[in-house]
Copies of this chain bind each other. A is one copy, B any other.
Amino acid sequence: MKATIYDVAREAGVSIATVSKVINGKGKISEERRREIIEIMDRLHYQPSVIASALTGKHTYTFGLLIPDISNPFFAEVARAVEDRAHQLGYSVIICSTDNKDDRVERYIGLLKQKSVDGIIMGTGIERVDMAAELSGSMPVVAIGREWSSVPVHTVVADDYQGGRAAASHLLGLGHRRCAVLSESMTIISSRERVQGYRQALEEAGIPLHNDHIRICKFSIEDGRRNTALLLADENRPTALFCCNDLLAVGALQAAREAGVRVPEQLSIVSFDNTILAAVTDPPLTSVAQPMEQLGAMAVNLLVRELEEKPSDKQRIVLQTELIVRESTAGWRS
C-alpha cells in the first residue's frame, strides 16, 4: 500500500502541516528535523508529487550545475561533491557542460528556467558578464571557483593566491631561482590570483618573474606540452615550472620527456588542483590541492540557504588549499 502524508506524520511524531513544510521547503523548521522527516519519507517510500508542488510556485528540488566540461577530472570531482551534498538535502542536479561558450551557457540557462529549477551553481566562465547579472536577478545563483566582481552572488572559491604562494615557497625552499609558470587566460580571476601569488612570493625573495617565463595556455594537455617545449628550448631555460592546473602539468611532463629533460632532477614541476591525474603520472605530481569536496558541499549549502532563508547578504567563502608534495619536485644546486 502506498504511504501517505499521514503515515509520515505519524511515524515522525509531527503534524501533517510540518511534513508539508518539509515537502514544500517553506516555513520554519530545523535542518535536523527536516533531514529526519526526509529519511522517514524515504523509508516509507512516500512520494509527494514534486510536479504538482512546483506548479503552485513551490520548489522543484532541482538545480542546475554549469561547468565547462564534466569529462574533465577536476569538474567531475567537484560535480560528485555537489551531487552528494544536494542528494543529502533532498535536491537533484542537472548537469550542464558549457565548454566555456556563452551561447551554450545561454541555451542551458533557458532550459533550466523552463524546468523551473530552484537555482543554479555556476562553475563556468562567461565572457558576457551581463548574462551573469541578469541570471542572478532572476533566480538564486552561487558561483563556484569563479567570480564576477561586478555581480553580487554567493561565491565559494579556493584561496588561489595562497596556493600560488605555496607553490613558489616550495620551489624557493628547494633552491630554485629560474621559475616559470603556465597559466590559463588572465581574464579568469582564479588564474590571475594563482600567478599573482606565485609572482609575489618570488619577488619577496628577490627573484623577479620574467615575462617570457609566463606562458598563457588553453585548458588542455596539448597546450601545456607545446608551451613547455618552448620554455625548454630556451638556453636559459627554467629549472622549475608551476602549472596552474593538472592538465597543463601532464603536458609539461610529456614535453620534458620528449626533450630528454629529467623530472625532477633537471626540472621541478608543481601543479594545481590535485585531481586523480596528479597521482597517476610518473613521477606523481607535487600539486596544490583544491578542497573539491568542500567546494561542492559549501556551494550547495549556500544555495539551499538562499532558497530557504533568503538572506539579504551575499557570502564569499574562501577555502584553504594544501600543497601535496610528491615526486615531481626536487632540490636544485646552481
Query: Is there an interface contact between A95 and B69, defined as CB atoms closer than 8 Å?
Result: no
Interface pair A115/B80, CB less than 8 Å apart: no
Q: Is A94 an interface residue, CB under 8 A from the partner?
A: yes
Is residue A139 contacting chain B, with contact meaning CB distance below 8 A?
no
**Distance, CA A116 to CA B111, complexed state (A):** 17
List chain B residues, Cβ under 8 A from A50: 114-116
The minimal Cβ–Cβ distance linking A45 to chain B, given in whole angstroms, is: 6
Chain B: minimal CB distance from A286 (Å): 16
Q: In the complex where A280-B280, A280-B281 touch, is A115 in contact with B92 (Cβ < 8 A)?
A: yes
Docked pose: A77 CA to B76 CA in angstroms: 9
Cα distance A194–B308 in the bound complex, in angstroms? 50
Main secondary structure of the interface of A (DSSP, over half): helix
Q: Chain B interface: which of A54-62, A297-305, A314-322?
A: A54-62
Please give, as numbers and ranges, the residues of chain B lying within 8 Å of A51 by CB-CB distance. Answer: 51, 54-55, 60, 115-116
Interface string of A267-282 (1 = CB under 8 A from B): 0000000001101111
A112 to chain B, nearest CB (A): 8
Instruction: Determine if B276 and A73 form an interchain contact, defined as CB atoms under 8 angstroms apart.
Output: yes
Q: Among residues 74 to 128 in chain A, which have CB atoms less than 8 Å away from a CB atom of chain B?
A: 76-77, 79-80, 83-84, 87, 92-97, 107-108, 110-116
- A276 cross-chain contacts in B, Cβ below 8 A: 71, 73, 277
Is A95's CB under 8 angstroms from B79's CB?
yes
Instruction: Find out whether the CB atom of A110 lies under 8 angstroms from the CB atom of B277.
Output: no
**Contacts A47-B113, A76-B70 given: A42-B93 contact, CB under 8 Å?**
no
Residues on the B chain within 8 Å of A55, using CB = 51-52, 55
Report B-chain residues with C-beta under 8 Å of the C-beta of A84. 97
Residue in chain B with minimal CB distance to A80: B71
CB neighbors of B among A309-330 (8 A) = none
Q: Chain B contacts of A62 at CB under 8 A? A: 94, 115
Q: A281: which B residues are within 8 A, CB to CB? A: 280-282
Residues from 23 to 49 in A contacting B, C-beta threshold 8 Å: 42, 45, 47-49
Contact between chains at A280 and B250 (CB < 8 Å): yes
Q: Is A221 an interface residue (CB 8 A)?
A: yes
Given contacts A73-B73, A277-B280, contact A97 B80 (CB under 8 A): yes
From A115, which residue of chain B is reached at the shortest CB distance? B50
Query: Do A94 and B97 contact each other (CB < 8 Å), given the known contacts A55-B55, A115-B50, A281-B280?
Result: no
Check A115/B83 contact, CB under 8 A, given A95-B93, A281-B280: no
Say if the beta carbon of A257 comes within 8 Å of chain B. yes
| Seed contacts A42-B110, A70-B80, A92-B112; 9 additional CB < 8 Å A-B pairs | A42-B107, A51-B115, A52-B55, A70-B83, A83-B96, A87-B107, A92-B115, A94-B94, A253-B282
Q: List 22 A-B contacts (CB under 8 A).
A: A42-B107, A47-B113, A48-B114, A51-B51, A51-B60, A55-B55, A61-B115, A62-B115, A70-B95, A71-B276, A73-B276, A87-B108, A92-B94, A92-B111, A92-B112, A92-B115, A94-B94, A250-B280, A253-B282, A257-B282, A280-B280, A281-B281
